[in-house]
Amino acid sequence: MKRTVKIAVDILMTLGLLFLMGYQFWGDVAHEWAGAGMFALFILHHILNGGWYKSLFRGKYTPFRVFQIVVDVLVLLDMLGLMVNGAILSNYVFDFLPIQGGMSFARTLHMLASFWGFLLMALHLGLHWNVFLGMARKAEEGRLRW
């Protein structure tokens, strides 16, 4: 059951990122609500993958593992930056927050973080691609337990 939820959350996050990149097609309101949904999925993703935090200080640190952790931490920081800047820029979803000023700076940081986020997420997915291939092989062989 947990594996099914993890897969569903990962798929929804990927689709959500693609939707969020189409900001010019959907407009402010849809972008903000999708961003808020992505925030919730992001939190759920980290709860479901909590073992990652526990394993950080275990095992051998190969150059590949160090690179993977650096990319994962950069993705985490980038996504947190996107969410904070998104809340600052919000005109609908987080409009109740008493934030004033700094909109131009927040917009610049939001755009910069979104471009870096695109690159970092591509690296993150690529570095975890073997997990997806392994699940596909197991599903094909009928051994994957959802």
| Chain center to CA of 5 | 15
10 to 58, 102, 138: CA distances (angstroms): 25, 33, 18
Query: Which pLDDT score is estimated for 144?
Result: 60
Higher pLDDT, 1 or 53: 53
Considering the entire predicted model, what is its pTM?
0.82
What's the mean pLDDT in 11-36?
93
Dihedral sign, Cα of residue 11, residue 42, residue 5, residue 119: positive
Least confident of 13-22, 46-55, 137-146: 137-146
Query: pLDDT for 91-139, tens place per residue?
Result: 999 989 998 888 899 999 999 999 999 899 999 989 988 877 877 777 7
- 7: Cβ–Cβ under 8 A, 6 or more apart, which residues? 135, 146
- Predicted pLDDT of residue 145: 61
Rounded mean pLDDT, 32-57 = 93
The predicted-structure confidence for 68-80, as pLDDT tens digits, reads as follows 999 999 999 999 9
Whether 144 contacts 138, CB under 8 Å: yes
What is the rounded radius of gyration, in angstroms, for the C-alpha atoms of the chain? 17
